[in-house]
A and B are shown apart, each in its own frame.
Chain A
């Protein structure tokens, strides 16, 4: 059955919404101008509901709004009810135990008046295990890293906890990390314990990227963007009345 054109109605914090069937609660709340704090959500990546910051209440139930699809009419959600705020404060304490120095978390903690749970600070490595890096890696076209282990052992790692062999060094993971936990260097390129060569542009010699990332992009005989512009501009020079784009 095709639901593409079906609309769903309900309320968030008492405000009426009409959303496409299957839209997420978070996106719909954003559309109403409401702010729900998120950390593992990335608008360009599939939601995973890992950080639990975006919890909201619906009739005594707590829902991760980033991945709650709106499918039935008449639901009422509360983003700042006592239950939702209590749950959010609890989650925040756990997240702060992992990443005690993250500016965004500290800001939220200030608003809600909570601090890191002092019993849990031995795992404070800056990573909140949200897997945004893992999703970014897959979206970029590789599957070099994954969330491995369970419970307190859980962490992001390459296979067998070694430097990931499928990593192309694009660093999309590090740019997607909400807490800035993944250390990397652009030039020379190194990340996840691996050092990468940087392919020089055959025309000007400037580094274009790692050979692995250029191969992943499927580019044959790569040339740097500046030289690509130069190359095709040349062909337009000899034509006095030429203009482009051509019809």
Chain B
């Protein structure tokens, strides 16, 4: 379980692609969306969703990696890559249920979100709050609060 999460709220996304560009510029030094580890999925009938690695607890990528190129940072819970250990078998790419890990042919390494070592650029540049970097505990808290809000009127009724 991660300590902090890049939380995605699709309804707030305005599709500006700032996140993709900020992500790609870190590793490639240029605005190169294909090198981004966060991806916007656009739909023909409107709307878009930014998606990136969830840092799964039972991560299939981590399970299949035999060389230690993928390893979880026990302090943060984030699954990090070590390009020097990667042999390029791309099994992790095949098994990720969400398509959030890629093999970069120009870079000769697997690429996945590592939350920028605690300072994710995508969340920093997101202008609309669709991407926020929050404590896991707060995600739960916010969700509980939203659910409670939806029951407020019912609760008032019951108390009458």
Contacts and interface: CB of A to CB of B under 8 A. Distances in A.
- Asked if A pairs with B, the answer is yes
Interface of A: 42-45, 136, 139-141, 170-172, 175-176, 186, 208-209, 213-214, 216-219, 222, 224-230, 232-234, 236-237, 239-247
A237 B40 CA distance: 13
A241 B130 CA distance: 11
Given A172-B87, A175-B108, A176-B87, A229 B64 contact: no
B84 A170 contact: no
Interface string B7-24: 111110000000000000
Contacts of A232: 51, 97-98
A219 B94 contact: yes
Contacts of A172: 87-90
Given A43-B84, A232-B97, 8 more contacts: A45-B67, A45-B87, A136-B88, A139-B67, A217-B94, A218-B95, A224-B99, A225-B99
B81 to A, nearest CB: 11
Interface of B: 5, 7-11, 39, 41, 43, 47, 49, 51, 54, 64, 66-69, 82, 84-91, 93-102, 105, 108, 136, 139-140, 143-144, 146
Nearest to B63: A218
A237 B67 CA distance: 37
Contact of B7 (A42, A45, A243): A243
A234 B97 CA distance: 14
Contacts of B39: 226, 229
Given A186-B105, A242-B10, A233 B49 contact: yes
